């Protein structure tokens, strides 16, 4: 009992010695002179009433707002009003807010949030069946200042329309309580995310801040400054969209009615100009708060933590005088050195103490943050790093391991530090292991000596010695220095490739053809390369895009070197549009180049295009000349075409003897079409016996026009016989 009495007496003495309210306000704001500051501070540490006063000034979920002090108010009156204020606040916090079940056209549900000034309820808009959120001011908080702030929030939210700012649908008043109807948000605040995760990845943090900056850009364009940007006022919905909340402290920049002595905001994120109650606060204050929020997201620590800055005054002084901690001290392992410097430059520009040294607008902030975001490695780059690292285990370990190391360094430098370290280690390990496995495989190949004689057999005309003949049991070539030599493993590979090509493997044919075209490991031979490509094409295999491109590259290479069959192949390709864009003029040019080298098939193509006009001009006499050159080389189609020209007088004078000569040569090759045309020539010149003979030969091969013609002739003969009888 005596202890209680002594404690009560001690508290009473402390209360009686409480400093003047104005002096206490100066102490709290940090403006008290040094000779009185220590004394007041010691008093506050011991006085529960002064401590409550300071707490009420500081604490508010939506930031804090210092109470205005009436200079005519006595100390006792002021402290009494403070006691009443604290008691009412406690009652409001502990009690339930009594509301009607229905509010105009809204059906109220459960409470989903609360702050220092109001409560938020879930509701349903009855007629539209839309879920909304309704915000009220607590009865105990209804004061002129609170109403002004709530009215300000309603006006500002109503004037803004942006996907990154919470939307307002309606507003009104019931039983003396104003309310605001807003969109219903599902998700959590960034503050909740940080408390759950500890800190946010740099990439995710950039995405959040960029979206918030876009919302601020809309507000600033309307000449509105938020003044309380912080993680607790940034909401992330389930789709990942960030929305700015709580515009209660927001002000139109042109509004200068606010008392200079009133300081408002959240101490952990306040711009220096807010800390001194400046009335000329502009959009750059939001940029400072956004920079502090970004720092908090990526480090998980407040810029000026409470452990080091326990009082509001010390935090405000820190914002005024102390730079933000450096990233190399806060998160030394999060970034590479280069990436960390880029981040530090952006944070320094956002959180400069003087507004003039910050970014001029949030649009500039967005540009800088986008650049910073793009500095991170993309998913394809990270995937490529892992791909090349692992491929080096199986294929060309030296080359692919080196590529993997280069990609690892790029990913590390771009900010994907962990991926870079893993990829670098993986490339080195897989490269060494791949080289070891390759060596074992080579030793295994050397044991397969049976392939060496096969190589010598298949490529004997190449006269290519093998570098490792001695270990394989062969005699060393004395003229080796004058010949192209290849490793034993390559001889094994080529021999196996040749065997597969002999077994009609189209893929092996194409690969071997490419070796012949390039002269890689074997002597360059365009004839063999062309023949292998032709054989592979005849098998109608499924050609990959890479193989088709490789074949076209070989065709162009051989054609440019003057190889006539390749020139003719390009002519066919351009004529059909297979592998290249269809172009009859280019087709004619390649056919002509091959024809001028004596290629009979190309000569026939040139003649055909000249006679049909596909060459860009129609010249029958020139076509006949090319038909003649091709026909003289035994080209059956040219002999037939030349015979038709002489028979019909196309490009030359009609000449039965020449027509008979060339059609006879073509018909003797066994083509029923040519035999039929020769028979028609004989019939037109009255040589029915010869015509009947060739018709029979053509009909026996199943040529339908010949069979029909033969049936008519036989029917006519039967009628003649019956008439004679």
Select which of 93, 119, 170, 228 is catalytic: 228
Phi, psi for residue 596 in degrees, rounded to 5: -65, -20
Cβ 208 vs Cβ 190: under 8 Å: yes
417: Cβ–Cβ under 8 A, 6 or more apart, which residues? 333, 334, 335, 336, 339
Give the three-class secondary structure for 135.
Answer: strand
How far apart are the C-alpha atoms of 127 and 125, rounded to whole Å? 6
Phi-psi domain of 710 (left: phi exceeds 0; alpha: psi -120 through 50; beta: other): alpha
User: Active-site residue 228, yes or no?
Assistant: yes
CA atoms within 13 A on the CB side of 291: 32
The sign of the dihedral angle between the CA atoms of 622, 628, 630, 631 is positive
- What DSSP line would sit under 229-283, residue for residue? -SGGGEEEETTS-EEE---TT-EETT---S-TT--EE-GGG--HHHHTT-S---H
How far apart are the C-alpha atoms of 463 and 552, rounded to whole Å? 29
* Helices and strands counted in the chain (H then E): 32, 13
Pick the closest to residue 237 from 150, 133, 161, 137 (CA basis): 133
Give the three-class secondary structure for 711.
Answer: helix
Cβ 23 vs Cβ 36: under 8 Å: yes
- What DSSP line would sit under 609-640, residue for residue? HHHHTTTSS--HHHHHHHHHHHHHTT-HHHHH
Query: Please, where are the H alpha helices in 543-687?
Result: 545-560, 564-576, 584-596, 600-612, 620-632, 636-648, 656-667, 672-684
Calculate the alpha carbon distances from 202 to 10, 190, 195, 210 in Å. Answer: 53, 14, 16, 12
Q: Using alpha carbons only, give the angle 229, 231, 233 rounded to the nearest 5 degrees.
A: 60
CA atoms within 13 A on the CB side of 722: 6
CA 125 to chain CA mean position, Å: 41
Calculate the alpha carbon distances from 672 to 136, 659, 707 in Å. Answer: 100, 17, 11
How far apart are the C-alpha atoms of 292 and 271, rounded to whole Å? 9
Per DSSP, what are the bridge partners of residue 133? 122, 182
32, with CB counted inside 10 A (0-12, 13-18, 19+), is buried
The sign of the dihedral angle between the CA atoms of 265, 270, 275, 278 is negative
N-term to C-term CA, the chain: 162
How far apart are the C-alpha atoms of 725 and 709, rounded to whole Å? 25
What b/e readout covers 267-294, taking b as 16+ CB neighbours within 10 angstroms?
A: bbbbbbbbbebeeebbbbbbbbbbbbbb
How far apart are the C-alpha atoms of 389 and 431, rounded to whole Å? 8
Calculate the alpha carbon distances from 645 to 318, 330, 609, 651, 695 in Å. Answer: 103, 93, 15, 7, 21
How far apart are the C-alpha atoms of 299 and 198, rounded to whole Å? 8
Give the DSSP H/E element, type plus range, for residue 169: strand 168-174
- Give every strand in the sheet of 187-189, ordered side by side: 187-189, 234-237, 242-244
How far apart are the C-alpha atoms of 437 and 431, rounded to whole Å? 10
Phi-psi domain of 4 (left: phi exceeds 0; alpha: psi -120 through 50; beta: other): alpha
* Residues with catalytic function: 228
């Amino acid at each position: 009992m005596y202890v209680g009495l002594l404690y009560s007496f001690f508290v009473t003495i402390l209360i009686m010695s409480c400093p003047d309210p104005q002096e206490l306000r100066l102490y709290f704001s940090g403006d008290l002179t040094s000779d009185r500051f220590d004394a007041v501070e010691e008093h506050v540490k011991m006085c529960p009433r002064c401590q409550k006063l300071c707490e009420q000034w500081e604490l508010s979920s939506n930031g804090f707002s210092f109470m205005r002090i009436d200079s005519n108010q006595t100390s006792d009156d002021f402290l009494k009003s403070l006691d009443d204020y604290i008691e009412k606040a406690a009652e409001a916090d502990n009690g339930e807010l009594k509301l009607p079940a229905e509010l105009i056209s809204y059906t109220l549900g459960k409470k989903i949030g609360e702050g220092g000034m109001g409560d938020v309820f879930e509701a349903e808009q009855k007629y539209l069946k839309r879920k909304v959120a309704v915000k009220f001011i607590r009865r105990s908080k209804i004061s002129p200042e609170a109403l002004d702030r709530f009215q300000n929030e309603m006006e500002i939210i109503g004037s803004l329309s942006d996907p990154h700012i919470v939307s307002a649908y309606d507003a009104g008043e019931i039983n003396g309580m104003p309310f605001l109807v807003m969109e219903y948000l599902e998700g959590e605040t960034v503050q909740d995310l940080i408390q759950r995760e500890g800190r946010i990845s740099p990439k995710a943090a950039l995405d959040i801040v960029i979206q918030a900056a876009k919302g601020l850009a809309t507000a600033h364009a309307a000449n509105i400054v938020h003044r309380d940007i912080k993680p607790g006022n940034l909401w992330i919905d389930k789709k990942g969209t960030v929305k700015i909340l709580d515009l209660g402290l927001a002000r139109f920049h042109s509004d200068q009615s606010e008392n200079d002595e009133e300081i408002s905001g959240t101490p952990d994120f306040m711009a220096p100009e807010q800390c001194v109650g400046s009335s000329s606060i502009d959009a750059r204050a939001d940029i400072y708060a956004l920079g502090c929020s970004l720092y908090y997201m990526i480090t998980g620590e407040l810029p000026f933590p409470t452990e080091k800055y326990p009082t509001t005054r010390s935090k405000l002084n820190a914002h005024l005088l102390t730079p933000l901690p450096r990233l190399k001290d806060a998160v030394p392992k999060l970034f590479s050195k280069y990436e960390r410097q880029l981040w530090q430059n952006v944070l320094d520009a956002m959180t400069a103490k003087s507004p003039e040294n910050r970014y001029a607008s949030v649009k500039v902030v967005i540009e800088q943050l986008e650049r910073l975001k793009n500095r991170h490695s993309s998913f394809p780059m990270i995937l490529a790093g892992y791909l090349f690292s692992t491929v080096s285990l199986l294929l060309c370990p030296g080359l692919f391991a080196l590529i993997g190391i280069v990609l690892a360094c790029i990913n590390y430098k771009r900010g994907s530090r962990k991926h870079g370290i893993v990829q670098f280690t993986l490339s080195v390990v897989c490269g060494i292991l791949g080289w070891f496995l390759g060596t074992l495989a080579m030793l295994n190949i050397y044991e397969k000596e049976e392939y060496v004689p096969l190589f010598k057999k298949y490529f004997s005309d190449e006269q290519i010695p093998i570098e490792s003949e001695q270990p394989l049991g062969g005699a060393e070539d004395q003229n080796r220095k004058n010949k192209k030599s290849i490793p034993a493993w390559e001889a094994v590979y080529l021999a196996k490739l040749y065997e597969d090509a002999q077994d009609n493997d189209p893929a092996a044919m194409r690969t071997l053809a490419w070796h012949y075209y390039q002269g890689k490991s074997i002597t360059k031979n365009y004839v063999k390369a062309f023949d292998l490509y032709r054989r592979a094409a005849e098998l109608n295999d499924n050609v990959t895009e890479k193989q088709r491109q490789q074949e076209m590259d070989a065709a162009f290479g051989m054609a440019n070197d003057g190889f006539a069959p390749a020139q003719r192949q390009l002519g066919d390709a351009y004529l059909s549009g297979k592998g290249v864009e269809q172009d009859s003029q280019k087709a004619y040019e390649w056919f002509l180049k091959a024809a001028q080298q004596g290629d009979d098939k190309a000569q026939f193509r040139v003649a055909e295009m000249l006679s049909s006009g596909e060459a860009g001009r129609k010249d029958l006499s020139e076509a006949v000349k090319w038909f003649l050159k091709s026909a003289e080389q035994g080209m059956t189609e040219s002999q037939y075409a030349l015979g038709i020209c002489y028979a019909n007088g196309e490009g030359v004078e009609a000449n039965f003897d020449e027509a008979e000569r060339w059609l006879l040569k073509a018909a003797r090759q066994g083509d029923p079409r040519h035999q039929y045309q020769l028979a028609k020539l004989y019939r037109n010149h009255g040589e029915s016996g010869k015509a009947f003979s060739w018709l029979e030969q053509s009909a026996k091969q199943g040529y339908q026009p010949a069979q029909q013609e033969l049936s008519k002739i036989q029917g006519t003969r039967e009628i003649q016989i019956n008439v004679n009888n």
